[in-house]
Structure 1
Amino acid sequence: MRVLGIDPGLTRCGIGVVDVSATRTVSLVYVGVVVTSPDLALERRLLAISQGIEDVVDEFEPDAVGIERMFAQHNLRTVMGTAQASGVALQIAASRGLAVGLHTPSEVKAAITGYGAADKRQVGAMVARVLGLDVVPRPADAADALAIAICHAWKGPALAAGGGALTPAQRAWRDAEKTATSRKAFS
């Protein structure tokens, strides 16, 4: 399966594409960041992000898209920019008929590191390790986009059912999901 991961942002929008085998082995296909200047009009910035994402979708033809889900922040300007970039990504995926999964930062961290409160350095290091890279993709938005793509791919039916050869991080995530689901059932 080929998965596009998007770490939405108005100034830097991370884009990563990975291939994931049936055994959950992940390989890097593409990673990049669409950068827009705060000096540009908002509509021009969103257009640049849209064109960057569309170019990647056209070239690499992903089967699914994982996008970081909005989370609470105190900086309204950052939240608005992230929401606008997310909307662009969601619209592109919908227009192409691609399945979309929204993942919170803690879900992504748990999927990659086995720990939902991991810091950016830990996430980047595990992305590099999972992909067999010598260096962590830079900037952090690029590594985050790859982490989102990997998270989305690993959250498939085999992981949820407990099947397949799971990594320690995948097992920890599966177990955390089961715990969270059982807590919801009793609340």
Structure 2
Amino acid sequence: MRVLGVDPGLTRCGIGVVDGERGRRARCVEVGVVRTPAETELPRRLQVVGEEVERWLDRHRPEVVAVERVFSQHNVSTVMGTAQVSGVVALLAAQRDVPVAFHTPSEVKAAISGSGRADKKQVAAMVTKILGLDTPPKPADAADALALAVCHVWRGPMLARIAEAQTRAEALAKNHRNRLQEASRAARRSGEKPSKGHRR
């Protein structure tokens, strides 16, 4: 499985590509960071990030794009920028029919280090060890992108099976409800008395 991990951000957007399968050693294909100046207008910053993400999608042709799920923080402007970049990445992937998976920071930390409260330094150290890198990826955004990709390599198949099972369970429950409703209607029809006009 080839996964493109994206740690969304306007000032720094981490991007990393990982090859691997659950239970096997993962391999870093490429990692980098897209930077845009804070003084540049928002549409142009999104364009720069989008163009670079497009190049990575076309160059590496990932099977899945893993993006960090945005959570509210104290800095609203930062959250807005992160959400906008996430939207651009999701759109570009969808245009190429590439599935997009969103993982929360705690999910990624737990998958990589075993603790949902691990700090960035711990995550970078574990990513370095897992991927067999000589040095930790820098800046932290690059390490986070690789962590997202590794997280999906390890958790993606399991999450897909859970989602599939949930879909089947919902379909069975719906069919069961439909049968109960039909049985109830049939019981009401069979219990109806003929009107007075039809009595003899």
Tell me the TM-score range normalised by the shorter chain: 0.7 to 0.9
Q: Does 1:92 align with 2:73?
A: no
Q: Which residue of 1 aligns with 2:151?
A: 151
Cα offset, 1:126, TM superposition: 0.2
Q: Given residue 112 of structure 1, which amino acid in structure 2 is its aligned partner? A: I
CA distance in structure 1 between the aligned counterparts of 2:22 and 2:75, rounded to whole angstroms: 41
Change (3 A) 1:132 1:38: same
SS of match in other structure, 1:14:
strand
| In structure 2, distance between residues paired with 1:54 and 1:157 | 25
Over aligned residue pairs, what C-alpha RMSD do you find? 1.4
Report the number of matched residues.
161
Give the C-alpha shift of residue 24 in structure 1.
3.0
Q: Identify, as 1 or 2, the structure richer in helix.
A: 2
Percent of aligned pairs sharing the same letter = 59
Q: Which residue of 2 aligns with 1:23?
A: 23
Post-superposition shift, 1:131? 0.4
Q: Please tell me whether the aligned partners of residues 22 and 153 of structure 2 are also in contact (alpha carbons under 8 angstroms).
A: no
2:40 match: 40
**Where in structure 1 are there 5+ consecutive unaligned residues?**
162-187
Residue number in structure 1 paired with 2:79 = 79
String of CA shifts for 1:1-52, please: whole Å, max 9, x gaps. 1000000001100000000135332001010000000111111100000011
Q: Give the alignment of 1:44-63 within 5 angstroms.
A: 44-63=44-63
Q: 1:80 to 1:160 in 2, by over 3 A?
A: closer
Give SS of 1:127's match: helix
Counterpart of 1:116 in 2: which secondary structure?
Answer: coil
Q: CA distance change for structure 1 residues 22 and 102 in 2, over 3 Å: closer, same or farther?
A: closer
Contact 1:20–1:153, Cα closer than 8 Å, also in 2: yes
Q: Distance in 1 between matches of 2:120 and 2:90?
A: 24
CA distance in 2, matches of 1:145, 1:92: 17
CA distance in 1, matches of 2:160, 2:113: 17
Give the direction of change, closer, same or farther, for the CA distance of 1:43–1:160 in structure 2 (3 Å limit): closer
1:153-185 CA-to-partner distances (Å, cap 9, x unmatched) read 111335887xxxxxxxxxxxxxxxxxxxxxxxx
- Check 1:145–1:137 CA distance in 2 against 1; reply closer, same or farther (3 A cut): same
Structure with the greater alpha carbon radius of gyration: 2
SS across alignment from 1:155: helix
State TM-score, norm by structure 2.
0.78
